Amino acid sequence: MQTDGRDHEALIADLVKRERISDETARLIFSPAFDEFRARLYEAADKVRLETVGDEVFIRGIIEFSNYCGCQCDYCGISSHNRELDRYRMDFDDILETASHAYGLGFRSLVLQSGEDRSYRASDICHIIEAIKGRLGMAVTLSIGEWPKADYAAFRAAGADRYLLRIETSSQALFERYHRDSKWYDRHKALMDLKELGYQVGSGILVGLPGQDGPGLLRDLEYLERLRPEMVGIGPFIPHPKTPLGNQPAGLIEHCLTFLALLRLYLPDSYLPATTAMGTLAPQGRQMALRAGANVIMPNVSPLSNRPGYQIYPDKIGQSDDAETCQRCIEDLVLALGRKPNLGFGHIKRKIY
């Protein structure tokens, strides 16, 4: 593969062919020297997106049902480090009411997300899943962190379809620097468990964590290629003032879009969200993501009263938009790009293995 940085067209052609990327090339791709060629890379990824997953954009409603968290992640605004945060937790009835409201708006795919709130027992989570599946028949994605394999099995038996758990970084050293209370291998093992249990698995990374470099991002891409998750969600690191990484610079939107485009090229049939963090970092961030390989978007359908408490990073967009407004603005955003919004189950067409 071209590595001297002179013939960028040839380099992009190699990326489209999924040639192995060298560390030197990764350094180039994630350096300012590549900036004038990024648009070409995004365009190539957009073409592959059209050929593999088509023009639909899958819309999933997120319910952030608790911001209690037992973890101490150095970048995260709802980590238990943050003692100034008002904590909330929705009970069964609140969650079901929110899910029914989303159903009424046309959503058929829900993501239930929370901090690692250990006050819910596995049976409580199962009860919620069973009610949403049984009464509303919606597709259910969980995003509730690391649990024992037996609990993942119980959630799956209760009807959960998908599970989102980012590896955050494929580097054990970087992971354990920023998660002093947890181990990289446990995160990896949890992903293996989820795959084995037949979930559609979503993973992903943070782009721009202090200490990350081009070759590190290449290792992340290689890790994700091996894991072959059905979905990959990535976002820029955004410093939160109430966290140990509060004074560090944010990740760059162009590095996020570049990593997203590479994901589309190297995992061509995966589902890739245009994440809220990208929209927060850059005003057109989600639109840019949808034109650089993304095909999923996840508006917030949580009750408005929860929003201030779920600032994983500051200035998160959509704070004052209720579910209906979020839905409308997301559908308009998708239509304005000439794409087709799809509120359905959004199951990936690939065979799960």
| Least distance to ligand 5AD, CB of residue 77, Å | 6
Residue 30 binds ligand 5AD, judged by CB under 6 A:
no
What is the Cα Rg of the chain in Å?
Answer: 19
The residue among 75 and 107 lying less far from ligand 5AD, judged by its C-beta, is 75
| Least distance to ligand 5AD, CB of residue 224, Å | 14
Q: Could you tell me which of 227, 233, 316, 229 has the C-alpha nearest to residue 273?
A: 233
Residue 279 binds ligand 5AD, judged by CB under 6 A:
no
> Any long-range contacts for 125-128 (C-beta under 8 Å, 24+ apart)?
125/151, 125/155, 125/158, 126/154, 126/155, 126/157, 126/158, 127/92, 127/158, 128/92, 128/95, 128/96
Cα separation, 27 vs 6, whole angstroms: 14
Cα separation, 58 vs 330, whole angstroms: 11
166, 179, 187, 264: which one contacts ligand 5AD (CB under 6 A)? 166
| Least distance to ligand 5AD, CB of residue 187, Å | 10
* Segment (H or E) for 16: helix 8-16
Cα separation, 327 vs 228, whole angstroms: 30
The residue among 21 and 245 lying less far from ligand 5AD, judged by its C-beta, is 245
| Least distance to ligand 5AD, CB of residue 332, Å | 25
156, 179, 240, 339: which one contacts ligand 5AD (CB under 6 A)? 240
Residue 313 binds ligand 5AD, judged by CB under 6 A:
yes
Residue 272 binds ligand 5AD, judged by CB under 6 A:
no
| Least distance to ligand 5AD, CB of residue 263, Å | 15
- Could you tell me where the beta strands, DSSP code E, fall in 9-85? 56-59, 61-66
Helix, strand, or coil here: 159? Answer: coil
The residue among 10 and 192 lying less far from ligand 5AD, judged by its C-beta, is 192
Residues in 188-207 that interact with ligand 5AD by CB under 6 A: 206
Phi, psi (5° rounding) for residue 273?
-80, 145
Specify the stretch interacting with ligand 5AD by CB under 6 A; choose among 33-41, 126-134, 151-159, 233-241: 233-241
Residues in contact with ligand 5AD by the rule CB under 6 A = 75-76, 166, 168, 206, 235, 237-238, 240, 277, 312-313
